[in-house]
Structure 1
Amino acid sequence: MSEDWGIGLFRSVEIALIALFVMGVAVIVAVIYTLHEIAHINQWGVIALGVLVGSIGLGKILSHIAIEPLKEHFYHLDRFSKETLHELNLPINTITANVEMLRKTHIDEKSQKRLERIELAAKMLKERYNELDYLIQKQMEREVIKNFDLKELIEERFVFLNGLYPSVEWDIRCESFLVDLDPIGMAKVIDNLVDNGVKYSPTEPYITIKLFNNAMSICDRGCGMDEVTLMKIFDSYYQSDKTMAGYGIGLGLVKRYCDRHRIVLSVQSQVGEGTCITLDLPRKKNG
């Protein structure tokens, strides 16, 4: 579906609504005039009742005209998203399977490094696939809130992220902390914050993850941000450096997740020194 098609659809709906509204008002005025001047009905209560019934009918017609095209538009968009997501899974799995087969026949160091890069790219695609799948599922049904140890989730994500970013030096210090949250969404929060820390650490990335009491912090020693940038980082599609890969969506997702689960999000950053993002987490409910 092209952008022009969507604009044309909404413009047609707008024109139809305006035309119908004008016609409806004209019909109501004509009915009042007919009842009062021609039929000589002077009971304004009866006239008002007729106008009310006519207004309700007009409202139903207007709402139907406005909503039906939107419902159809979003239905096709939703179906297209799901079908595209499903089709993405096959090539990702094919790449992964063939890399494993090639490892057995290409044993020289140069070939192995190339295969590692291909495998790394496939892992990144798989993560984006999982993220899109999560977002679509979340729109279809409410998030599943579970009680889990955040320390274990951090350790689980570290195993994956360490393979994804082999050049990163890690400092992870966590204590057990039970939370009642959506674990899949929380995993995406950790991944996005680490990904940004690595992305904006041009040389020798150093990532610190700490979890003490009810606060989790993820810090880097990257390029940092000035005050103007700090005010915009959670805006959708904003990127402080346009040369970086990505679409400026990750931190927006983090902010929405934190707002939804009443997690207080704070950012400290200095240009040339790095950035530290802290999440003050809600404590586990009693009972």
Structure 2
Amino acid sequence: MSKKTAFKILVLYMLTSCVFLALVFYGWYQTKKDSIIESKVNTLFENAHTLVVHLYEQSQNYPRNSNALDYKKLLETAHSELGITFLLVKKNGEILFNTQENIKDSKEVREILSAPAFLQAPTLKTSRHHKNDKIVRINDGMYLITQRMGGRFWHVMRQSFGDLDSKMESKDNIYLLVYSKGVESELYALLSVIFISFIGAFLAMSVVAYFLVSLSLKPLREKIQHLNAFIKDSTHEINTPLSVILMSIERIKMYELSTSQQQKFERIKLAAQTLEQIYQDLLFYAFDEAKDLKLENVALGQLITERIAYFEPFFRRKNIAISFSLELEDSVESVISANYSRIVRMVDNLLDNALKYTQNGGSVEVVLGENFLSIKDNGCGISKEHIDKIFNRYYRANSDQGGFGIGLALVRQICMLYKIAITCKSEEGKGSEFRLEW
């Protein structure tokens, strides 16, 4: 039970810790993601500014003659010296200049120009001249699409084309695309770091949680150990006086007693049998050496008849009618391969359970089939909140009744050993049915 409780506490602790870690690491990821994107965006704007300034400065080295300036050569020189990847394109997708190898035709350019904005330019709201500026993210790269090339850039273009309006139509028709790669790869690298950190933190918290749960459940574990020790000691001490009582009962001759004495003797005998029943359960539970492991073919019909006869005085005392019926074909006997004493303990505990929780004047029905055993009573029943716990050790659904709460735990233990399926159907106030199938 302590292990099961520890496991539940540990699972709950780890689930809440996992949620907490997920929120923390999600916030970290978002912060770092925004930082990476902001860095890429700043790089794009800086590259665009550096490119324009460089082009203007280089154009000043040429004579002021429209035929002397080769703008393509100037752009190629800027690319090789600055290492900036960029394109100069028209609105219809026509490529005027391109340093990006994977862009081949105007269709790809138009797709970039028409792509939805991943991030609007910071100056969009403050100047009408920048209304078409935007950041576009495509796969692992980001493009700054801008016409903010200023007077310096257009001075270079006028030197190259002469009559700008006739050869290049309008400057509103030309876009500068500055490219930066590595966005997705950096985000994936960030996710890898965060995932590894999350696993490390989770494992560290798991270790801490394990020791915390072990420490917190130490008093419970000690209590259970003390209880087990008490049961063993009590069982050992009960043996001698119980043996004396049972031997004395066997030697008493009923015909020598008066009617009043016979009634008293009957009560003493029932009490002694009850004590013997408790002793056998405690003996079976507490001492492994007392558990006989020998297998044999147990005839259930004869065994149940004997056990009902043993319990008959107890049922008669509470005026409980107990019936036993067989649902077997002729010449068929219900037999199970098991240890005889264990099956006795199983049947006794189920009968004792029915006796204990059935009111005076009630009834108990025992039905044996070829592959099943049913014990049904019309007692107080079990509520839904308790029915899943009745097979737990030391658990008692009704504290008004006596016992240690180990009877049904022993029944389940024996059923698991011999692969017997046990189910309980119960309705509070109407009774319970325990059914064994093999």
Fold shared per TM-score above 0.5: yes
Task: Name the CA shift for 1:136/1:103 in 2 (closer, same or farther; >3 Å).
Answer: same
**Where does residue 96 of structure 1 map in the other structure?**
246
**Residues 238 and 248 in structure 1, CA contact (< 8 A), matched pair in contact too:** yes
**Residues 217 and 276 in structure 1, CA contact (< 8 A), matched pair in contact too:** yes
Gaps of 5+ in 1: 1-73, 282-287
Shift of 1:112: 2.0
- Counterpart residue type for residue 225 of structure 1: I
Shift of 1:140: 6.3
- Counterpart residue type for residue 170 of structure 1: I
Task: Name the CA shift for 1:111/1:140 in 2 (closer, same or farther; >3 Å).
Answer: closer
**Residues 298 and 336 in structure 2, CA contact (< 8 A), matched pair in contact too:** yes
Question: C-alpha separation between the residues in 2 aligned to 1:198 and 1:84?
Answer: 25
Question: 2:345 aligned with 1:193, yes or no?
Answer: no
- Counterpart residue type for residue 127 of structure 1: Q
Of residues 98, 101, 115 in structure 1, which corresponds to 2:265?
115
User: What do residues 110-146 of structure 1 show as CA deviations (whole Å, max 9, x unaligned)?
Assistant: 3321221111111111222233333455446662111
**Residues 315 and 322 in structure 2, CA contact (< 8 A), matched pair in contact too:** no
- Counterpart residue type for residue 388 of structure 2: M
Question: C-alpha separation between the residues in 1 aligned to 2:270 and 2:308?
Answer: 15
Which of 1 and 2 has greater Rg? 2
**Residues 215 and 279 in structure 1, CA contact (< 8 A), matched pair in contact too:** yes
Of residues 191, 207, 212 in structure 1, which corresponds to 2:369?
212
Of residues 304, 312, 323 in structure 2, which corresponds to 1:171?
323
**Where does residue 420 of structure 2 map in the other structure?**
263
TM-score by length of 1: 0.63
**Where does residue 36 of structure 1 map in the other structure?**
none
Shift of 1:106: 3.9
Shift of 1:84: 5.8
Report SS of the residue matched to 1:165: helix
**Residues 320 and 360 in structure 2, CA contact (< 8 A), matched pair in contact too:** no
**Where does residue 382 of structure 2 map in the other structure?**
225
Of residues 272, 275, 283 in structure 2, which corresponds to 1:125?
275
**Where does residue 69 of structure 1 map in the other structure?**
none
User: What do residues 187-209 of structure 1 show as CA deviations (whole Å, max 9, x unaligned)?
Assistant: 11111111111111122131111
**Residues 198 and 205 in structure 1, CA contact (< 8 A), matched pair in contact too:** no
Question: C-alpha separation between the residues in 1 aligned to 2:236 and 2:265?
Answer: 25
**Residues 299 and 335 in structure 2, CA contact (< 8 A), matched pair in contact too:** yes
Question: C-alpha separation between the residues in 2 aligned to 1:114 and 1:183?
Answer: 33
**Where does residue 144 of structure 1 map in the other structure?**
294
Question: C-alpha separation between the residues in 2 aligned to 1:141 and 1:148?
Answer: 16
Task: Name the CA shift for 1:249/1:207 in 2 (closer, same or farther; >3 Å).
Answer: same
TM-score by length of 2: 0.43
Of residues 399, 411, 416 in structure 2, which corresponds to 1:254?
411
Question: C-alpha separation between the residues in 2 aligned to 1:161 and 1:145?
Answer: 25
Shift of 1:228: 0.8
Aligned length: 204
**Where does residue 182 of structure 2 map in the other structure?**
none
**Residues 123 and 164 in structure 1, CA contact (< 8 A), matched pair in contact too:** no
